[in-house]
């Protein structure tokens, strides 16, 4: 057994050898991250194996058995039964766990006049093709100011019907201090953090400040960003790319081109962050998020159902069309750049988006028979955050000087060894003696989490799961440990701290042990996880709750026994079924891929792949159409794990689905997966059968593994809804972005069963 990091008791010689190996690889890593060498080059040169693992060359691979490892004789990833070797552990600079407060998310301002002066130039339906000079490093000449593909197909669908009413403007930018932090709550609800103090970009106050090119976040700052939205209040999110024009200026990982995916947004494809619709430094991209209830063209079209409603500013709600059973709550948005998603998200391109509705109001006091009154607060008519907490879980790794580090050669998946919550290393959070809601996002690259709440005696405490993937469950479920939460899944919980005395503490404890990025190795018991014996440094306590006072006002929140039952699909015929198998060994190179300039001609990126309807295992290309459901229909898809050696959390864009069966049986679906989902963990060797509809919007979408290393290495397919009428051609042309403008080519390939 070998872990990707050296154990805490590794000898100095082992650590030194591992540090040297990391240094030796840094130049290759950098060249690969900058697109100067392709995977094929690396295989040809013998630096990685065709299976994607780093070659077992002394001084290069951290897994090569060295003189310091006793009895090791294996190759990559295998050191026999001797002392496990691995990468050097991240330096922690003597920092103790739970020595700094966890910052709440940074609430992004909302403009209220998106078409009348908030944004210059004024947003428009089709991409703004006004020309500007292009940096010589990007080829010079001129190019459009907006990177969105031009013309009708990529124009905002139904822009006149759903004109933007709120503007949000952010830049992807180099690491810098935050001088405008707004947690959205008074500092007593933010563990006493002074919001007026400048916040340097550090993962802990005692860690070094990150270099500008080590971390690239929204606005270049931490804490991570939160956008609040309401149903039927369309948002125009103008995303500027202010990253360096020099593709080499990335400190070893991260790509300066980006495409921003509003995860599980039910929006037109032009706003979905399509992997092949990325934009360049000094460009912007206008994303139009209408935030409508799915089914609005066929269900409750006259907006008479009081449960289908959106909160207004006067404390009431306004009825809207659509199916209230499709109401969503907790989203996030992140980069989706083709083959660079894992690097870019890890580097900081991840934020959260809370959506409010009459049901999920963000006000626990309003008692109108519709509002579910979940823990939140009472001061504002909607969107109170005092007791409604966003948590972003992600483990990071640091090089010897404390700068963010990523090993992009870990094709099984990348693991960090330093656990962060809201991008802060093992923090504490002060709570009152009452109920709280926690919206927990797994924002890791490849790591699954399974967590329990432990008291000081090590006893598991009850947690109530209320939502899965941001969708409120039909009924709440009380658990003493979460399921394994895969990458990109969101689990919402209510924790009641009223039973604890002031001055006591409880902890969130990670039970899920990884040795590599393939899948969880073991789910430990709480006692095992607390014992400190696991060699995985991210097992154990990661967030400390300090119960500090009684609430000033009594807790008015509720956890209703019935929340959001699933939409009834019994009268909607299943128009067809499809099967996707997620496996390895893809070997179908395509000659003229739109992405060749990124990865080297001939594709061959593997080692992962997807087979559609039992066809060949294919490498990813955003130019291939694997499925094309008809507009207005419902289908059943089975997602099959091609093997037992790994797990894959598969995300299908566009509309949440319902899981019908696991391994072919409805009885295998656990209670907390009986709501609506958008990420489907297949489990090793397992399958998930689900149903979803294709309505309201059109264009090209994706389906992929959300272990983003797998995604980047070919576990991604394009599918599209393109026969809903003009302007949607059949099939859709493929966009090919360049700094000088986006051109279109015909699809490279269409799977025989796509249409
Ligand atoms: Cu995967």
297 alpha carbon – ligand 1 mean position (Å): 35
CA 68 to chain centre: 39
Residues 6+ apart with CB under 8 A from 337: 255, 257, 258, 259, 275, 278, 344
352 contacts 226 by C-beta, under 8 angstroms: yes
Residue 313 burial class via C-beta count within 10 angstroms: exposed 0-12, middle 13-18, buried 19 and up: exposed
- Residues 151, 152, 153, 158: is their CA dihedral positive or negative? positive
For residue 596, the model assigns a pLDDT of 52
Mean pLDDT, rounded, for 566-584: 95
For residue 79, the model assigns a pLDDT of 29
pLDDT reading at 749 higher than 90: no
Mean pLDDT, rounded, for 438-461: 98
265 alpha carbon – ligand 1 mean position (Å): 22
241 alpha carbon – ligand 1 mean position (Å): 29
716 alpha carbon – ligand 1 mean position (Å): 10
How many alpha carbons lie under 13 Å from residue 519 in its C-beta half-sphere?
16
585 alpha carbon – ligand 1 mean position (Å): 13
pLDDT reading at 604 higher than 50: no
Beta strands 505-510; 540-549: pairing state: antiparallel
pLDDT reading at 704 higher than 60: yes
Question: For residues 187 and 197, what is the distance between their CA atoms, to the nearest angstrom?
Answer: 12
575 contacts 627 by C-beta, under 8 angstroms: no
How crowded is residue 97: how many other Cβ atoms within 10 Å of its Cβ?
18
Question: For residues 616 and 604, what is the distance between their CA atoms, to the nearest angstrom?
Answer: 14
689 alpha carbon – ligand 1 mean position (Å): 17
How many alpha carbons lie under 13 Å from residue 37 in its C-beta half-sphere?
18
Residue 692 burial class via C-beta count within 10 angstroms: exposed 0-12, middle 13-18, buried 19 and up: buried
437 contacts 385 by C-beta, under 8 angstroms: no
Mean pLDDT, rounded, for 243-262: 94
Give kind and range of the element (H or E) at residue 708: helix 708-712
236 alpha carbon – ligand 1 mean position (Å): 32
Which of 79-88, 197-206, 382-391, 685-694 is predicted least confidently? 79-88
For residue 52, the model assigns a pLDDT of 56
pLDDT reading at 743 higher than 90: yes
DSSP 495-547: EE-TTSPTT-EEEEEE-EE-SSSSS--EE--HHHHHTT--S-TTSEEEEEEEE
Give kind and range of the element (H or E) at residue 27: helix 12-33
For residue 483, the model assigns a pLDDT of 98
Which of 458-467, 508-517, 657-666, 740-749 is predicted least confidently? 740-749
Please state, for a pLDDT cut of 70, what percent of the chain lies above it: 89
Residue 192 burial class via C-beta count within 10 angstroms: exposed 0-12, middle 13-18, buried 19 and up: exposed
Helix (H, G, I), strand (E, B) or coil at 563: coil
What's the token pair of residue 169? 């403007």
710 alpha carbon – ligand 1 mean position (Å): 5
For residue 617, the model assigns a pLDDT of 86
Query: Residue 530: phi, psi to the nearest 5?
Result: -80, -15
What's the token pair of residue 381? 């008519």
Helix (H, G, I), strand (E, B) or coil at 395: strand
335 contacts 275 by C-beta, under 8 angstroms: no
For residue 620, the model assigns a pLDDT of 78
650 alpha carbon – ligand 1 mean position (Å): 7
DSSP 674-707: SSEESEEE--TT-EEEEEEEE-S--EEEEEEESS
**Average pLDDT across the chain, whole number:** 90
Question: For residues 216 and 201, what is the distance between their CA atoms, to the nearest angstrom?
Answer: 10
Helix (H, G, I), strand (E, B) or coil at 41: helix
Question: For residues 44 and 26, what is the distance between their CA atoms, to the nearest angstrom?
Answer: 19
453 alpha carbon – ligand 1 mean position (Å): 28
- Look at residues 111, 115, 123 and name the one whose alpha carbon lies nearest to residue 156: 123
Helix (H, G, I), strand (E, B) or coil at 284: strand
251 alpha carbon – ligand 1 mean position (Å): 26
- Look at residues 390, 391, 396, 436 and name the one whose alpha carbon lies nearest to residue 415: 396
647 alpha carbon – ligand 1 mean position (Å): 6
Question: For residues 506 and 646, what is the distance between their CA atoms, to the nearest angstrom?
Answer: 33
Whether omega before 121 lies within 30 degrees of 0, making that bond cis, reads yes
685 alpha carbon – ligand 1 mean position (Å): 12
What's the token pair of residue 305? 């159902």
pLDDT digits (tens, 9 = 90+) for 114-166: 999 999 999 999 999 999 999 999 999 999 999 999 999 999 999 999 999 99
413 alpha carbon – ligand 1 mean position (Å): 8
Position 66 confidence tier, pLDDT thresholds 50, 70, 90: very low
Helix (H, G, I), strand (E, B) or coil at 32: helix
pLDDT digits (tens, 9 = 90+) for 486-529: 999 999 999 999 999 999 999 999 999 999 899 999 999 999 99
pTM above 0.75, yes or no: yes
pLDDT reading at 328 higher than 70: yes
Position 291 confidence tier, pLDDT thresholds 50, 70, 90: very high
For residue 68, the model assigns a pLDDT of 36
Neighbours of ion ligand 1 (CB under 5 A): 648, 705, 707, 710
Position 605 confidence tier, pLDDT thresholds 50, 70, 90: low
Query: Residue 28: phi, psi to the nearest 5?
Result: -70, -40
pLDDT reading at 48 higher than 80: no
For the chain, give percent helix, strand, coil, nearest 5. 10, 30, 60
609 alpha carbon – ligand 1 mean position (Å): 9
641 alpha carbon – ligand 1 mean position (Å): 9
255 alpha carbon – ligand 1 mean position (Å): 21
Which one has a higher pLDDT value, 328 or 26?
328
Which of 14-28, 367-381, 547-561, 586-600 is predicted least confidently? 586-600
Beta strands 608-612; 574-584: pairing state: antiparallel
Specify which of 58-62, 157-161, 339-343, 621-625 reaches the highest per-range mean pLDDT: 157-161
Which alpha helices (DSSP H) does 211-360 contain, by range?
Answer: 341-346
pLDDT reading at 310 higher than 50: yes
Q: Three-class SS string for 601-642?
A: CCCCCCCEEEEECCCCCECCCCCEEEECCCCCEEEEEEEEEC
Question: How many angstroms separate the Cα of 727 from the Cα of each of 30, 141, 268, 664?
Answer: 42, 31, 13, 39
Q: Euclidean distance between the first and final Cα of the chain, in Å?
A: 46
Whether omega before 731 lies within 30 degrees of 0, making that bond cis, reads yes
Question: For residues 653 and 323, what is the distance between their CA atoms, to the nearest angstrom?
Answer: 19
DSSP 176-244: --BSS---SS-GGGTTT--TTS-B-S-SSTTSPPPPTTT-EEETT-SSPEEEEEETT--EEEEEEE-S-
Residues 6+ apart with CB under 8 A from 228: 107, 110, 353, 354, 356, 362, 383
Beta strands 540-549; 428-432: pairing state: parallel
pLDDT reading at 65 higher than 70: no
161 alpha carbon – ligand 1 mean position (Å): 38
Question: For residues 698 and 508, what is the distance between their CA atoms, to the nearest angstrom?
Answer: 41
Report CA Rg, the chain.
Answer: 24
Question: For residues 288 and 227, what is the distance between their CA atoms, to the nearest angstrom?
Answer: 14
378 alpha carbon – ligand 1 mean position (Å): 42
Helix (H, G, I), strand (E, B) or coil at 352: strand
pLDDT digits (tens, 9 = 90+) for 396-432: 999 999 999 998 777 788 999 999 999 999 999 999 9
Which alpha helices (DSSP H) does 34-115 contain, by range?
Answer: 39-44
Mean pLDDT, rounded, for 382-392: 98
Beta strands 657-662; 633-641: pairing state: unpaired
For residue 117, the model assigns a pLDDT of 94
pLDDT reading at 43 higher than 90: no
- Look at residues 395, 589, 390 and name the one whose alpha carbon lies nearest to residue 493: 390
Position 333 confidence tier, pLDDT thresholds 50, 70, 90: very high
For residue 76, the model assigns a pLDDT of 31
Helix (H, G, I), strand (E, B) or coil at 393: strand
- Look at residues 79, 108, 240 and name the one whose alpha carbon lies nearest to residue 168: 108
């Amino acid at each position: 057994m070998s872990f990707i990091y050296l154990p805490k008791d590794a000898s100095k010689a082992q650590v030194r050898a591992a540090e040297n190996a990391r240094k030796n690889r840094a130049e290759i890593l950098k060249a690969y991250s900058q697109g100067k060498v392709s995977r094929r080059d690396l295989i040809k040169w013998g630096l990685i194996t065709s299976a994607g693992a780093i070659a077992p060359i002394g001084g290069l691979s951290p897994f090569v058995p060295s003189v310091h490892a006793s009895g090791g004789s294996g190759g990559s990833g295998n050191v026999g039964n001797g002392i496990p070797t691995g990468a050097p552990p991240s330096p922690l600079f003597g920092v103790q766990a739970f020595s700094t407060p966890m910052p709440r998310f940074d609430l992004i301002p909302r403009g209220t006049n998106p078409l009348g002066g908030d944004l210059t130039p004024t947003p428009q339906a089709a991409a703004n093709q006004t020309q500007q000079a292009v940096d010589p490093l990007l080829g010079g000449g001129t190019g459009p100011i907006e990177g969105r593909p031009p013309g009708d197909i990529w124009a905002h669908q139904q822009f006149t019907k759903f004109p933007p009413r709120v503007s949000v403007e952010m830049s992807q930018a180099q690491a810098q201090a935050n001088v405008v932090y707004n947690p959205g709550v008074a500092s007593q609800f933010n563990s006493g953090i002074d919001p007026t103090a400048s916040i340097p970009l550090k993962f802990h106050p005692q860690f070094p400040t990150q270099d500008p090119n080590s971390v690239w976040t929204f606005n270049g700052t931490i804490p991570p960003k939160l956008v609040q939205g309401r149903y039927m209040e369309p948002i125009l999110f103008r995303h500027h790319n202010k990253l360096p024009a020099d593709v080499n200026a990335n400190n070893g990982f991260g790509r300066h081109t980006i495409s921003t995916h509003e995860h599980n947004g039910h929006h037109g494809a032009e706003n979905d962050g399509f992997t092949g619709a990325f934009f360049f430094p000094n460009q912007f991209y206008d994303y139009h998020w209408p935030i409508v209830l799915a089914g609005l063209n066929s269900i409750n079209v006259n907006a008479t159902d009081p449960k289908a409603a959106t909160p207004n500013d006067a404390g009431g709600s306004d009825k809207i069309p659509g199916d209230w059973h499709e109401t969503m709550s907790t989203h996030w948005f992140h980069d989706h750049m083709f083959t660079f998603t894992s690097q870019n998200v890890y580097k900081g391109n991840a934020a959260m988006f809370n959506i409010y509705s009459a049901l999920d109001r963000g006000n626990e006091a309003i008692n109108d028979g519709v509002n579910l009154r979940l823990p939140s607060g009472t001061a504002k008519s909607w969107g109170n955050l005092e007791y409604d907490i966003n948590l972003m879980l992600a483990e990071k790794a640091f090089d010897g000087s404390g700068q963010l580090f990523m090993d992009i050669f870990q094709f099984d998946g990348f693991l960090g060894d330093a656990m962060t919550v809201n991008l802060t290393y093992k923090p504490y959070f002060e709570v009152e003696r009452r109920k709280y809601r926690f919206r927990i996002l797994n924002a890791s690259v490849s790591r699954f989490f399974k967590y329990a709440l432990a008291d000081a005696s090590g006893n598991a405490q009850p947690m109530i799961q209320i939502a899965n993937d941001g969708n409120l469950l039909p009924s709440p479920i009380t658990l003493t440990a979460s399921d394994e939460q895969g990458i990109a899944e969101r689990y919402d919980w209510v924790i009641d701290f009223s039973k604890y005395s002031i001055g006591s503490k409880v902890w969130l404890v990670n039970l899920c042990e990884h040795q590599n990025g393939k899948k969880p190795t073991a789910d430990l018991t709480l006692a095992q996880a607390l014992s400190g014996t696991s060699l995985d440094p991210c097992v154990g306590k990661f967030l400390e709750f300090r119960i500090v006072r009684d609430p000033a006002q009594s807790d008015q929140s509720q956890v209703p026994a019935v929340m959001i039952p699933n939409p009834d699909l019994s009268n909607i015929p299943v128009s067809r079924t499809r099967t996707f198998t997620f496996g390895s060994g893809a070997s179908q190179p395509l000659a003229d891929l739109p992405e060749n300039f990124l990865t080297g001609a001939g594709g061959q990126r593997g080692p992962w792949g997807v087979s559609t309807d039992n066809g060949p295992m294919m490498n990813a290309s955003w130019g291939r159409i694997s499925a094309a459901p008809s507009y207005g229909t419902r289908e059943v898809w089975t997602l099959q794990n091609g093997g037992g050696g790994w797990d894959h959390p598969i995300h299908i864009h566009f509309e949440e689905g319902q899981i019908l069966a696991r391994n072919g049986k409805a009885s295998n679906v656990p209670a907390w997966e009986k709501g609506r989902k958008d990420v489907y963990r297949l489990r090793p060797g397992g399958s998930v059968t689900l149903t979803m509809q294709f309505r309201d919007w059109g264009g090209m979408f994706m389906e992929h593994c959300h272990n983003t290393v797998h995604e980047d290495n070919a576990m991604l397919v394009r599918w599209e809804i393109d026969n809903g009428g003009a302007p949607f051609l059949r099939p859709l042309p493929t966009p090919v972005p360049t700094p000088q403008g986006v051109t279109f080519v015909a699809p490279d390939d269409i799977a025989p069963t796509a249409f």
